[in-house]
Amino acid sequence: MEKLLIVKLGGKVLADESKLNAALSSFADSSLRKILIHGGGNEASDLAEKMNVPVKMIEGRRITDDSMLEIVTMVYGGLINKKIVAQLQSLKINAIGMSGADGNIILSERRPVKTIDYGNVGDIKKINSGNLVKLLENDFVPTICALTHDGKGQLLNTNADTIAAAIAETLSECYDVELCYCFEFRGVLENVADKNSVIPEIDNKEFEKMKISGSINDGMIPKIFNALEASKKGVQKVYICSYESLDHPSKGTQICFK
């Protein structure tokens, strides 16, 4: 099968112009068909604070009330997405900026309330692989933000790591997929104080041990969880790595479900 590179950009890379430029240049250098997915949580939180909108997070996941949904739509679908698309175009990459509502590529449903009411947060129901494949085959580079829709006119905030995993899982039926979660560190660190203490590989058993020991927390938990889900459901290679090592993601942490 033809290879496909799926890159999720997040962390502090999006807020740092030099890091973002380096990440996009490395992404552009890949000769593979490719998709870029991005979040923007830090930027959304910064804008929310400026607008006196409370920021609520539980285990790295955002509570999205109506006011916060307006902010993430502006930040994810507007400012960040169009900035990235413009930069990729300058690198001769024919990027097309999208949310999950565009082309009906990601259909989701509002997360049901159990112990926590996450508000306007969407759990993915379906990835429209046909439309994504059409874009890829016509040499477009889908550049997708962390917004989905319910098919009834409602936008929903959806974790970008989850979107990356779901798209990678679906397209692994058509392509040999390599999924890279890229951020400012070289990989998952054994010691946060030591930036070189990269863990080469994490499987599902090791992940459970790390959660119990408290060696990982907050946003890293859903990131590794989604990476493991992608590996479990057929994605050929999954990495958590630095934006600087997109050409050699194995320098980071490989995530393998065993």
Parallel, antiparallel, or unpaired for β 237-242 and 253-256?
Answer: antiparallel
> Rounded to two decimals, what is the model's pTM?
0.94
pLDDT for residue 60: 67
Mean per-residue pLDDT over the chain, rounded? 94
Q: What is the mean pLDDT of residues 165-184?
A: 96
Residue listed under structure tokens 């413009």: 86
Per DSSP, the three-state class of 196 is coil
Domain that holds residue 76: 3-256
Give the CATH number, domain containing residue 19.
Answer: 3.40.1160.10
Residue 160 has pLDDT above 80, yes or no: yes
What is the tens place of the pLDDT at every residue in 195-206?
A: 899 999 999 999
* Percentage of residues in the chain having pLDDT higher than 70: 99
Query: How many other C-beta atoms lie within 10 A of the C-beta of residue 96?
Result: 16
Q: What is the mean pLDDT of residues 219-238?
A: 91
Parallel, antiparallel, or unpaired for β 3-9 and 176-183?
Answer: parallel
What is the tens place of the pLDDT at every residue in 63-107?
A: 999 999 999 999 999 999 999 999 999 999 999 999 999 999 999
pLDDT for residue 28: 96
Residue 59 tokens, joined: 């285990």
Q: Is 204 exposed, middle or buried (0-12, 13-18, 19+ CB in 10 A)?
A: middle
Q: What is the mean pLDDT of residues 123-147?
A: 98
Q: What is the mean pLDDT of residues 28-36?
A: 96
**Which of 68, 2, 54 lies closest to 33, judged by CA?**
2
Residue 44 has pLDDT above 80, yes or no: yes
| Structural domains counted in the chain | 1
